[in-house]
A and B are shown apart, each in its own frame.
Chain A
Amino acid sequence: MADDEIQNNVTLEERLARLNEIVRNLEEDTIDLEVALELFEEGIQHVRGAQSILNNAELRVKELVGSNEDLEVQQLKDDS
């Protein structure tokens, strides 16, 4: 798995969900050692990706405008 995998748009939530899945799979007795090592490597990648998000994320705030039929989301105008 390449390093640039970390840069893509996988969200923190998705990484955590996959990480939890990997842990569950690894804790099952029936798994092959080779497969386990692959899963482990993928898991570390997700930990790395998650750490990056935790350290570098910037808050994004949007505004929901319009009504009923024509709702849309736009960047929040900063009046302050």
Chain B
Amino acid sequence: MTTMDDNSEIWSVSQVNRAVKKLIETGIDNLWVLGEIASWTRASSGHCYFTLKDENSQIRCVMFKSDVLKLPVDADVGMVVRIFGSLSLYEPRGEYQVVVRSLVDEGGEGLWRIAAEKIRKKLEGEGLLDKDRKRSLPDSIQTVGVVTSLRGAALYDILKVIERRSPWTEVVVRDTRVQGETAAQEISEAVRVLSESGMVDVVILARGGGSMEDLWAFNEEPVARSIAISPVPVISAIGHEVDTTLADLVADFRAPTPSAGAEIAVKDRESMKEMLGVRTDSMLLALKGMTSSNRKELTHQMTELMGFEHKLVMPYRDFLARIGDELETGIRAVISGAKKSLDDTEAIMDILSPLATLSRGYALPTDSQGRILRKTGDLPSGKKFSLKVSDGTVFCGSLGKDI
């Protein structure tokens, strides 16, 4: 062992550093360290130099550019983090440091969330998140556009819903990566191309669940901007209900799952059929109303004629009865012609009945949406409804069921 009096072996500074470096690097394995960020510098090279501390001491750290790229944003001073790396000595300066390969935020705020917050504030400042910007869906949707990965489950879920609810709606899909470094660019391009193609009435942007890191592309600016300038409404269906990405905030509609997104986009068969039924009834009632007013016109003319030539005219009541019958016969002839084109005989009975029954004093109650109310259950006490009688409509309120 060398003592102070023995100077046979004199080391150079570099030799010392080299020896210590070897000692440090071989003596302690790769490790995880928990600490608080005391300082943080990002050099122009892209490498980050920072200090990690606890209550009693601190240590220098370096994270090289290739590893820094994995971070969405620089860590803030004061943040508690967990780092994974190896110990080393930087020989030129004799400084001991940790070479950090991975950095994870231990605190309540994730680094991801902080980065997302920064972009969100920027876009919010531009008004892109405003509620007034959000468009409603057009009444008629002939084609639905879907931007998603062809390899993902999201597309399958969406197609399943559309097939069940409204298979007459056409679908055009645009494939895109939904995570990874180039995803944001690809997604925004896909949204732009599909929404501007003129082929679709709405775009569903969909992706299955994942961690915030997996969904990160949907927090990036390009995606949000392409949604904002889309000429057609955009429904975002990204991740699970608990995940909110920037895309969700900028979109016109936000769905908790891809399936829910499809449900927002398309009407269903039952409501379409009901609508057809209401249209049919409207046509019949209009026709019925018409023949009543024609009858009134004839009545009026008859009354005038009676003043001059009553001997030549048939008894008033009989004449009216005859005209009325002819009109009804005419309508029935049209209906039986139309009968050949309606397979469903039940539908025929439904169609015939309003004509026959309204003139006999039956009336047709409908609610504020035009839906026909058929049962006592549809008319609870207090319910307001419209009542169509033979010559017009009155507003009514139900006094409740007659026991």
Contacts and interface: CB of A to CB of B under 8 A. Distances in A.
Interface of A: 3, 6, 11-13, 16-17, 19-20, 22-23, 26-27, 29, 31, 33, 36-37, 39-41, 43-45, 47-48, 50-51, 53-54, 57-65, 67-68, 71, 73, 76, 79-80
Interface of B: 140, 142, 145, 150-151, 156, 159, 162-163, 166-175, 189, 193-194, 197, 199, 269, 272-273, 275-276, 279-280, 282-284, 286-287, 290-291, 293-294, 327, 330-331, 334-335, 337-338, 340-342
Nearest to B190: A64
Given A12-B168, A54-B269, A61-B159, A27 B282 contact: yes
Given A54-B273, A59-B163, A80-B156, A40 B287 contact: yes
B142 A62 contact: no
A27 B280 CA distance: 12
A23 B286 contact: yes
B293 A76 contact: no
Nearest to A55: B269
Contacts of B282: 23, 26-27
21 contacts: A3-B340, A6-B341, A26-B290, A33-B294, A37-B331, A44-B342, A48-B338, A48-B342, A50-B276, A54-B168, A58-B167, A59-B167, A59-B171, A60-B170, A61-B159, A61-B173, A62-B170, A63-B172, A71-B193, A71-B197, A76-B173
B194 to A, nearest CB: 6
A20 B280 CA distance: 10
A32 B159 CA distance: 47
Query: Which among B280, B294, B335 has the greatest number of chain A C-beta atoms within 10 A?
Result: B280
Contact of B194 (A12, A47, A64, A76): A64
A22 B280 CA distance: 10
A36 B284 CA distance: 10
A1 B173 CA distance: 38
A22 B283 contact: yes
Contacts of B335: 44
A38 to B, nearest CB: 9
Contacts of B151: 79
A62 B172 contact: yes
A62 B171 contact: yes
Contacts of B290: 26, 29, 31, 33, 36
Given A33-B294, A36-B290, A43 B279 contact: yes
Given A57-B168, A64-B172, A20 B279 contact: yes
A46 to B, nearest CB: 9
